[in-house]
Amino acid sequence: MPTTATQDNREAAVTSKLGKDKLLFRGMRGREELGRPFEFQLELLSEDPNIEAKQLLGTSMSIELAAASGSTREFNGVVSQFSIVDYRPGDRLTCYEAVVRPRLWLLTRSSHCRFFYNKTVRDIVKALLDEGSVDYEDKCTATYPKLDNCVQFCETDFDFFSRLLEREGIYYYFVHQGGKDMLVLADSTTAYAPIPEYGSISFNPLLMGRAPLTECVYRWRSHAAVATATSQLNAFDFRNAKSSDDRGLIARATVHGGSSAYATEDYTTRYTTEEDGRRYAQARIDAHQMQAAYAEGWSSARGICPGGVFKLTGHPRNDQNGDYLVIAATYDVQSDYYLPVENAGNPPPPVFDCSFSAIPKANTYRSRPLTPRPRAGLQTASVVAPEGDEIETDQYGEIKVQFHWEQFNPPEQSEQTQRCWVRVGQNWAGKGWGTMFLPRVGQEVIVAFLDDDIDHPIVVGCVYNSTNEAPYTLPANGAVSTIRTASVGEEEKDRNELRFNDKNLQLLMYTGGRYDSYIKKNGYTWIGEDKHLIVQGKELVKVGSQHLTVTENQNVKVDGSVSLKAGMNILHQSQADYVVNSEAVLHLKAGAEAVIEAGAMLTLKSGDSFITLDAAGVQISGPIVGLNSGGAAGSAPGGSPEAPSEPQKADDGSSVK
């Protein structure tokens, strides 16, 4: 009776949730690289031909490899793929394949549309790792600014995670220990650490085409190449526009001794301080320098791992000996034979072999920026403000908007306005002059993105929708153009409006409140036909001097009193009749002289009595004509015209500053 297959006393073994020796380790090909998820492709055997993928997918799996000084090296992760490779009835062992990746890789299986407000990149990255239940350690040392707006848009959590790190110059590697794959974040050489038990590895070249039996580096290639030596960045911060225009945000990083001819210039990175700009530029130049000096090696040393440092010794060229950081490694791990057909006359394969890339320890590693930034094009959004407010803005006329894709992850009501300010494009903007129209709560606005960067929105217009309909019925009023506003803070909305009707060439100016017109110099009005003016209350006019010419008739009707007071002369002249009619009393009074002159006839008449003066003489007629016969003369009271009210001064615009 055949014995049960076991991994006991073997140099490589696999552990899974199925239990001990349910799966047997046959071989592994894997790759690890700084700033990239690892991938281990496993060949497995089992005496059970009925293992199903659902039993293992998403679960932890570990490979243990015997290493130096009795230690054990682990390769840990989660099963992302499982295959039945070869099953033949009657065979004792069934072949399976599994792909093991880090728990971080599971972030490739989820995507979101959301934003992070007032968070640092480290804050955001840690939030993503926490959501994915990824074990991590933060060894970053740099100080990162809080970002007003950082958007994840229609991209996987992993792509979002990757592009943030690549932009900032942060990389990561994995520490496999205790059955877990611990992700370590790093941004400087201070995170480098010697490989446990393999802090020093000797160079021992191939002999007769075969690798030495001892753990060593048996093949070594050193590369040098021309690389970019200077990175220059520039940005524009509208809050410090003058400094930005005066080259105040240009940032530069240069490799010591590098040629200035090999320089790059970029404007796609946004920052607001020169310090942040220099940090970005340094990250760029560090990434370029990865191509300038690196080495490739082939080794049987079982501790080689990305993120670890080792000292190469024994190389015949002394300039090659020294400390190196492993940045990538490809592994080939094989077990002893389980299948008799494999063992028939074949020498056992080497248990461990790897190729790797490394850079001098003195160099700072940066991941190459490979993850593309999402492109959003134009979008629409709704204007938001604190509850009860119709308008919320800041000193730059910025507003806050809520994108429609936020409905996937709606914020709490208390967090509704915890979001970045968004600039609003105007038709004209100068120093204290231009146009200003601020979108209000509930309006649907068109949003573009500066430099095609989803993190930097700008409002470029507004659109109508089924809730916010056009001011006039369309298409019937397609010839009408208008600027119509709505009153603020009132349940019953009134408006100000300037309307152009091009169907009959009509212009309407309407205000539901006060209207001010302030002209510092001359004002001219020309009307080809009639002008109609209705003032329901008072019309108060004050002029320095008034000249009025009426080419035809002038008709004035006053339902109340007329008061007219002149500081000097009042002169009236009529080319025809001049008629004054009073239904009651008519008084004419002169302080000094009163002269009434008629060219033909002058008549004073009261009742049946009259006095007529003409060229023929003076006629006096009355029932009784008395001279010096007593009686009393009527008295004309002095006129007391009512003084006009002073008009209020028009607003010259200074009421709004």
Question: What DSSP letter does each residue of 482-519 carry, written as one string?
Answer: EEE---SS-SS---EEEEEETTTTEEEEEESS------
* Residue 263 β-bridge partners: 230
The whole-number average pLDDT for the span 305-332 is 97
DSSP element (H, E) containing 289: helix 274-289
* Percent of the chain with pLDDT strictly greater than 90: 56
Give the strand pairing for 193-194 and 150-156: unpaired
pLDDT at 1: 43
User: Which of 231 and 444 is assigned the larger pLDDT?
Assistant: 444
Confidence of residue 343 (pLDDT cuts 50, 70, 90): low
pLDDT at 632: 72
Question: What DSSP letter does each residue of 228-285 carry, written as one string?
Answer: --EEEE----GGGHHHHHTTTT-EEEE-TT--TTSEEEE-----SSHHHHHHHHHHHH
- Report the SS3 class of residue 149: coil
The whole-number average pLDDT for the span 471-498 is 89
pLDDT at 651: 66
Provide the token pair at 479.
């010839």
The whole-number average pLDDT for the span 587-595 is 84
Kindly report, residue by residue over 31-64, the tens digit of the pLDDT. Answer: 999 999 999 999 999 999 999 999 999 999 999 9
Question: Which residue type sits at 505?
Answer: L
> Does residue 2 carry a pLDDT above 60?
no
Provide the token pair at 363.
């160099």
User: Which of 459 and 237 is assigned the larger pLDDT?
Assistant: 459
User: Quick check: 11 and 351 in contact, CB under 8 A?
Assistant: yes
Give the strand pairing for 217-224 and 72-86: unpaired
pLDDT at 654: 66
User: Quick check: 137 and 172 in contact, CB under 8 A?
Assistant: no
For the entire predicted model, the pTM comes to 0.84
> Does residue 109 carry a pLDDT above 80?
yes
User: Which of 381 and 415 is assigned the larger pLDDT?
Assistant: 381
pLDDT at 89: 63
Confidence of residue 260 (pLDDT cuts 50, 70, 90): low
Kindly report, residue by residue over 193-243, the tens digit of the pLDDT. Answer: 999 999 999 999 876 556 567 899 999 999 999 888 889 999 998 898 888
Residue with tokens 């496999």: 176
Which stretch of 121-135, 191-205, 377-391, 556-570 has the lowest confidence by average pLDDT? Answer: 556-570
Distance, CA of 566 to CA of 52 (rounded, Å):
111
Please, what sign has the CA dihedral across residues 432, 435, 438, 444?
negative
DSSP element (H, E) containing 308: strand 308-313
Question: What DSSP letter does each residue of 93-121 carry, written as one string?
Answer: SEEEEEEEE-GGGGGGG-EEEEEE-SB-H
Q: What is the mean pLDDT of the chain?
A: 89
Q: Of 246, 301, 375, 333, nearest to 68 (Cα)?
A: 301
Q: Of 196, 203, 205, nearest to 68 (Cα)?
A: 196
Provide the token pair at 641.
């015209």
Residue-range domains of the chain with CATH: 12-105 (2.30.110.50), 107-224+293-360 (3.55.50.10), 230-289 (4.10.220), 379-463 (2.40.50.230)
- Report the SS3 class of residue 17: coil
* Percent of the chain with pLDDT strictly greater than 70: 93
Confidence of residue 313 (pLDDT cuts 50, 70, 90): very high
> Does residue 436 carry a pLDDT above 60?
yes
Distance, CA of 344 to CA of 628 (rounded, Å):
169
Distance, CA of 299 to CA of 331 (rounded, Å):
10
Please, what sign has the CA dihedral across residues 482, 488, 491, 492?
negative
Distance, CA of 399 to CA of 419 (rounded, Å):
10
pLDDT at 90: 63
> Does residue 585 carry a pLDDT above 50?
yes
Provide the token pair at 245.
């225009």
pLDDT at 355: 97
User: Which of 570 and 341 is assigned the larger pLDDT?
Assistant: 570
pLDDT at 19: 94
DSSP element (H, E) containing 288: helix 274-289
571 alpha carbon, distance to own chain's centre = 72
pLDDT at 340: 58
| Interior angle at CA 169, CA 309 and CA 181, nearest 5 | 55
Please tell me what DSSP assigns to residue 203. Answer: B
User: Which of 200 and 256 is assigned the larger pLDDT?
Assistant: 200
Distance, CA of 420 to CA of 104 (rounded, Å):
29
Distance, CA of 315 to CA of 217 (rounded, Å):
10
pLDDT at 652: 63
